[in-house]
Each structure stands twice: as C-alpha cells, then as structure tokens.
C-alpha cells in the first residue's frame, strides 16, 4: 500500500492558481506588493504544480482576503425587505402597463403614453427613499 500524498504535495488546478493570482492582485492593490514583486509572484503562481508551491508564494502575506461578493441592493432588515418588495411590485406593475400600452400602440396607434403616469410617481418615491438610504446597505 502506498503512502497518502501530503496536502502540500497535491497538484493544483487552474482555478486554484487563478484564485491565488486574484488574491495577489488584491494584495498589490492594498500596497502589500510592489509591481515587480506582484509580477514575479504571479509568474510563480502560474508555474506552480503543487499546493506547497502556491503556499510559498503567499507565505509572507497576511491571509489573502476572499474576493468581494456581489453587491447587495437591499439590507436584510425590515426596511430592506420592504424596499425589495415595493421595488419588485413597482417593476411588475410598470412592465405590465408598458406592455399593455405597447400592444395598444401597435394595434390602435396614437395612444398617449399613460403608463408613465402609473410608473413615474411610485418610481420617484422609491428613488427618493433609496437616495436617503432606506433599506440600502452601508458602504
């Protein structure tokens, strides 16, 4: 029976190399690496075959932060939930009215854009609430 492969001797994938290279980019952006160090380390990352080699490239850096996740439009609290529901309802009502107006415009022609009267006032209220920060995540 053969010995199990040590964790540091496991081969790495391109996805792992890419993740480390992205972490190095964030370290460079934070001023932890100058351009020459960054360039050299990225070359080493893409030449690395094992996890141990990848670990050596980043050993002297603080733990590389994960990439930022997608930006959320609404908070998880009650105001955020209310804004989310109101915005979804506003989009749905506005789109339904726009489609009805479009069908009438195509079939009858010359129809006044009344759907704007349905969409604009609540859209202005939602935009104002969002502008003052109701339900928005703090940056």
At 130, list the tokens: 């969002």
- pLDDT value of residue 138: 80
Residue spans per domain, the chain:
7-58, 78-131
Q: How confident is the model at residue 62 (pLDDT cuts 50, 70, 90)?
A: confident
Predicted structure pTM score: 0.53
Q: How confident is the model at residue 4 (pLDDT cuts 50, 70, 90)?
A: confident
Q: Is the pLDDT reported for residue 1 higher than 70? A: no
Per DSSP, helices labelled H in 30-108 are 35-47, 51-58, 78-107
Contacts (Cβ under 8 Å, ≥6 apart) of 80: 74, 135, 136, 137
pLDDT tens per residue, range 15-38: 999 999 998 998 999 899 999 999
pLDDT tens per residue, range 65-124: 666 777 788 888 999 999 999 999 999 999 999 999 999 999 998 889 999 999 999 999
């Amino acid at each position: 029976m053969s010995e199990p492969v040590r964790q540091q001797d496991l081969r790495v994938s391109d996805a792992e190399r890419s993740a480390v290279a992205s972490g190095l980019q964030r370290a460079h952006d934070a001023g932890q690496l100058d351009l020459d160090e960054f360039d050299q380390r990225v070359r080493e990352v893409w030449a690395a075959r094992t996890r141990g080699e990848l670990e050596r490239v980043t050993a002297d850096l603080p733990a590389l932060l994960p990439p930022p996740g997608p930006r959320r439009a609404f908070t998880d609290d009650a105001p955020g939930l209310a804004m989310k529901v109101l915005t979804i309802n506003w989009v749905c009502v506005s789109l339904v009215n726009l489609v009805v107006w479009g069908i009438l415009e195509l079939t009858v022609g010359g129809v006044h854009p009344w759907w704007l009267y349905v969409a604009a006032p609540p859209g202005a209220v939602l935009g104002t609430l969002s502008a003052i920060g109701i339900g928005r995540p703090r940056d």
